Amino acid sequence: MTFDQMLERVRYEGAYPTRQRAEEAVHNVLAALGRQVTGDERVDLAQCLPVEAALILTSRIPATEQLTGWGFVKDLAARTGGTPATARWDTGAVLAVAARLAGPDLLARILHRLPDGYALLFGQAELRQRQAA
């Protein structure tokens, strides 16, 4: 998939009125995801994305503390000046496309390494339960 095709797919998924709005969502969400995904999963995800999208993902230094799925949405809203509802919408549109590009095996690995709440953001059911420490 080319970057232009990815943008058109995100535009469709998010029902965005313009390609520019879809590109803004892709940039914001992938940059935020780049702060959360680490290790081999980060490298493998970048390899599945179009080059322009991979550069956005990998241009961010991973955060020292991982956010929950809801924390991710709230942080994205704060960074973009949007509302949590808009940030959630953008996240869903972009990560649904990213999930298809990654495929089920890589997506499972990514979700295993992230805190609770990300499966829903990727358009997947949250099937695992965390064990108490």
- pTM for the model stands at 0.92
Residue 132 pLDDT grade (very low, low, confident, very high; cuts 50, 70, 90)? very low
CATH superfamily of 3-121: Uncharacterized conserved protein DUF2267 (1.10.490.110)
**pLDDT tens for each residue of 16-33:** 999 999 999 999 999 999
**pLDDT tens for each residue of 53-111:** 999 999 999 999 999 999 999 999 999 999 999 999 999 999 999 999 999 999 999 99
CB 68 within 8 A of CB 97: no
